[in-house]
Amino acid sequence: QKEVEQNSGPLSVPEGAIASLNCTYSDRGSQSFFWYRQYSGKSPELIMSIYSNGDKEDGRFTAQLNKASQYVSLLIRDSQPSDSATYLCASTDSNYQLIWGAGTKLIIKP
């Protein structure tokens, strides 16, 4: 069964530090990878997408993809209390549907 695995957390990070969120996937055929942020009681919000090996940066966020290791990560620099949320990782399957991880809860401590 195709899976996306994430540590459920919570991951506690001091304000201003780098938060590192990790995700592994089982389907070697996955082509596209996404990170969503979900605040409590709200719907997921797309923050990063990555399709090629390497790093992709957008503001304070960096997504990293390593297809050989089937590993994707999200780094958040200069973490702010407003970054406290659950972060969902998703990858595509061969039918271009998303396979979702259960999410990592991130807590930024002031």
Partner 1 sequence: DGGITQSPKYLFRKEGQNVTLSCEQNLNHDAMYWYRQDPGQGLRLIYYSQIVNDFQKGDIAEGYSVSREKKESFPLTVTSAQKNPTAFYLCASSRVSTGGMYEQYFGPGTRLTVT
Residues 15 and 23: their CA atoms lie apart, in Å, by 22
Q: What are φ and ψ of residue 39, in 5° steps? A: -80, 155
Report in angstroms how near the CB of residue 11 gets to partner 1 at its nearest. 15
DSSP state of 77: S
In the bound state with partner 1, the residue whose beta carbon lies nearer, of 69 and 95, is 95
Is beta strand 54-58 parallel, antiparallel or unpaired with respect to 104-109?
unpaired
Kindly report the backbone phi and psi dihedral angles of residue 52, in degrees, each rounded to the nearest multiple of 5, phi listed first: -120, 155
> Which listed range, 20-28, 53-61, 77-85, 98-106, lies at the site for partner 1 (CB under 8 A)?
98-106
**Residue 88 engages partner 1 in binding (rule: CB under 8 A):** yes
Subset of residues 46 to 85 that bind partner 1, contact rule: CB under 8 A: 46, 49, 51
Could you say whether residue 44 binds partner 1 (CB under 8 A)?
yes
Residue number, 71 or 100, with CB nearest to partner 1: 100
Q: Tokens 């061969």 sit at which residue?
A: 94
Task: Quote the CA–CA distance of 15 and 67 in Å, as a whole number.
Answer: 31
Cβ closer to partner 1: 45 or 78?
45
Contacts with partner 1 by CB under 8 A lie at 4, 8, 31-32, 34, 42-46, 49, 51, 88, 92, 96-98, 100-103
